[in-house]
Each structure stands twice: as structure tokens, then as C-alpha cells.
């Protein structure tokens, strides 16, 4: 293996999920309780959760990704999992994100005041979504999904972001998102509006009657709490939307990058630490992702294999991201500009990331 051009190969398979059914129980990891103990300059945060499969866990301190070596994961039994983080950065907000193929959920924890020793049981309900996780629409008709109103003491909000293929445009990907939960504005491609009769909830509408759009709808739920250990819990779930004339939202070989701010990714680096850089994309096919450092006059320099590590993470059938960790980041040695190269066998894209 030479350089970084052979570091990553991701195979994205089209799933055979049945359409027309609802998510009556969360397919995502469910947080059960959180324990926070701060003493002698150390903070210990432990999260207990259950999940249908073993999720990928990512920890953050004050918004910065935590290197893998300070985290540990322990199985309690066949249903409940336990994640642990110990750090000397006392008092700074800590969060953890658990990712499965079906979606992602994140929990944000308060770690103040000092000398805290507290446990909080969690009960964040998940909305009923009909239909999900696949929607096929008839040509000329609006695509609609019903999202239930939640009976909870927590304040919550829904948002929807649609990543659709956009043939004939300068970019192969169109991004459309809901403005609010009150119906949006005339001309919006994605809207959310309250349901006024029958079951209480919201209707998510995608304007496939005005424009043929196929892609992935990312439905986000945000819970907030003004007291207790947990300040926020978020979930993101992908829903495939495409015409009944097709078998998938994206054709074989489709490839596109995703705008930096679309997935709320932490692209910030501090001198003397490991720097995580993410390269998100949408693809239907095998993908190779590499990273290089951009130097003077748009010239790129491959990073030594010993100074970078990485992994692939998928969200659903078509959303993906390569995560690279540059060890011992030093801004005096690097201008902080990196290039993500994303390629399939017959297409390629690149974009630059400043950290």
C-alpha cells in the first residue's frame, strides 16, 4: 500500500427496505441514562443505551472530536450498552453521537458545577413516521410523510433536508430544506405544516408535483431541556424518496459531494492535537476517498501514512463520509488547508477544507 490513494474503498449497497410502513419504535440507539462525576480535575461521563446493533460512537469536548484512545465501550448485556469517557478538561460541555446505518442520535451533557455527582434517567420519545424508510411517488403528485406530535415535557423541533439529484445543473446535487414547522413559504421545495384534523402531528411535503426530485430526505428531531444533566438530544434519519418508475433514488455510479455545513460536521482543529477532517458525499457505487494537504499555488502534498488515519461511516444507503485524523496538527507547519478527493470508477470530485 503506497500513499493515501488506497486507504479507503466504500461499497454502498442499495437496500431492499419495504415501503409504506411506519417506524413505530426507534431503530436508532436509545439513551437510557447518563451519569456525570467531576472530581479532582477529572470528568467521568457514562452513557447507558440500548440499540438493535452495535453503533459507532464519537465523543466531543467543547465541540472538538476526542481522540479514540480516551474512549471505551463495554457491553452490559445483549440489549444495553455502556460508553465511557474520562478527561481532564473539567467543566466543558461534552457530547456523544451514536451512528448506525439507519440513522444517528446525539446527546449533549452539562458538566457544571464542579464536584458534580449526578445521574439522570432519560425518556425521549421518538416520532411515528408514515411511510418510512422508503417512499415511492407517482409522477405529478406531491410526496408526503406524516410525523407524529410527541407527548413530552421536553421542547422539540423538526427539520427536514432533502438531498436530490439535479441533472442539468452545475452541481449534481440539489439541497432543499424546510424553513420552519408552519408551512414555509410559497415556492419552497420542502415544507412542514401542522395537521389540523385526525392524528396530531406535522406533514412533510416534497414538491415532486412541480419538479421531479429523487434523493434522500434527512429528518432531524431536536429535543432541548432547560434543566438537568442533558441539554439537547438530536436524531437524524434518512428516508429514500424516488419515482415508482425507478428502483432507487440515484442511478448506479452517481457521485456528489455535500456542502460543508449540511451535516453539522466538526471541522475545527487546535495546535498540538489530533485534527479530524470529514469528507461527506452522496454515492450509489464504490467510492475511493483520499486527502492531501494544499500548499502554495494550489499544489497538493500527500500526507505520510504514519501521520494520518481514517475510517468510513455510512448513514443510510447513499449518504457517507470519510473521516481522516491528522496526528499532531501544527498550524505553523501547515496552512490548515486540505483537499478531499472523492472518486468512483468513472467520476471524481474534490473540494478544499480549511480548518
Domains with residue ranges and CATH for the chain: 30-121 (2.60.40.10), 129-221+236-250 (2.60.40), 256-354 (2.60.40.10)
- Comparing C-alpha atoms, which of 55, 146, 71, 58 is closest to residue 103? 55
Q: How far apart are CA 38 and CA 44, in angstroms?
A: 6
Q: What does DSSP say about strands 56-61 and 134-137: parallel, antiparallel, or unpaired?
A: unpaired
pLDDT in tens, 222-266: 998 888 889 999 989 999 999 999 999 999 889 988 866 544 444
- Comparing C-alpha atoms, which of 108, 89, 34 is closest to residue 264? 108
Q: Name residue 134's beta-bridge partners.
A: 240
Q: Which residues in the chain show pLDDT less than 50?
A: 1-25, 69, 73-78, 262-266
pLDDT in tens, 47-106: 888 888 888 888 888 777 776 545 554 444 345 666 776 666 667 788 888 888 888 999
Amino acid at each position: 500500500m503506497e500513499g493515501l490513494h488506497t486507504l479507503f474503498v466504500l461499497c454502498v449497497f442499495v437496500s431492499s427496505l419495504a415501503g409504506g410502513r411506519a417506524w413505530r419504535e426507534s431503530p436508532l440507539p436509545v439513551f437510557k441514562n447518563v451519569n456525570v462525576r467531576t472530581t479532582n480535575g477529572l470528568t467521568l461521563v457514562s452513557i447507558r443505551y440500548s440499540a438493535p446493533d452495535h453503533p459507532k460512537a464519537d465523543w466531543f469536548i467543547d465541540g472538538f472530536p476526542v481522540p479514540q484512545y480516551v474512549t471505551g465501550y463495554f457491553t452490559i448485556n445483549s440489549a444495553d450498552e455502556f460508553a465511557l469517557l474520562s478527561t481532564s478538561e473539567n467543566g466543558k460541555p461534552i457530547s456523544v453521537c451514536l451512528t448506525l446505518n439507519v440513522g444517528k442520535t446525539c446527546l449533549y451533557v452539562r458538566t457544571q458545577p464542579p464536584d458534580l455527582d449526578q445521574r439522570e434517567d432519560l425518556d425521549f420519545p421518538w416520532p411515528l413516521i408514515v411511510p418510512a424508510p422508503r417512499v415511492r411517488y407517482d409522477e405529478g403528485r406531491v410526496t408526503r410523510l406524516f410525523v407524529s406530535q410527541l407527548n413530552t415535557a421536553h421542547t422539540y423541533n423538526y427539520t427536514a433536508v432533502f438531498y436530490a439529484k439535479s441533472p442539468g445543473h452545475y452541481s449534481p446535487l440539489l439541497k432543499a430544506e424546510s424553513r420552519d414547522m408552519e408551512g414555509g413559504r410559497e415556492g419552497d421545495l420542502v415544507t412542514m405544516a401542522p395537521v389540523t384534523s385526525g392524528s396530531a402531528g406535522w406533514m412533510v411535503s416534497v414538491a415532486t408535483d412541480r419538479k421531479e426530485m429523487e434523493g434522500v430526505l434527512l429528518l432531524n428531531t431536536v429535543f432541548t431541556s432547560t434543566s438537568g444533566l442533558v441539554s439537547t438530544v438530536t436524531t437524524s434519519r434518512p428516508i429514500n424518496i424516488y419515482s415508482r418508475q425507478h428502483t432507487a433514488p440515484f442511478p448506479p455510479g452517481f457521485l456528489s459531494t455535500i456542502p460543508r455545513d449540511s451535516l453539522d460536521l466538526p471541522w475545527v482543529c487546535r495546535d498540538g492535537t489530533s485534527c479530524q477532517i470529514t469528507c461527506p458525499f452522496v454515492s450509489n457505487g464504490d467510492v475511493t476517498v483520499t486527502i492531501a494537504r494544499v500548499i502554495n499555488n494550489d499544489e497538493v502534498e500527500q500526507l505520510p501514512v504514519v501521520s494520518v488515519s481514517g475510517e468510513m461511516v455510512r448513514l443510510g444507503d447513499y449518504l457517507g463520509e470519510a473521516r481522516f485524523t491528522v496526528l499532531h496538527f501544527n498550524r505553523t507547519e501547515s496552512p490548515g488547508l486540505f483537499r478531499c478527493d472523492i472518486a468512483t470508477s468513472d467520476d471524481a470530485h474534490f473540494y478544499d477544507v480549511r480548518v
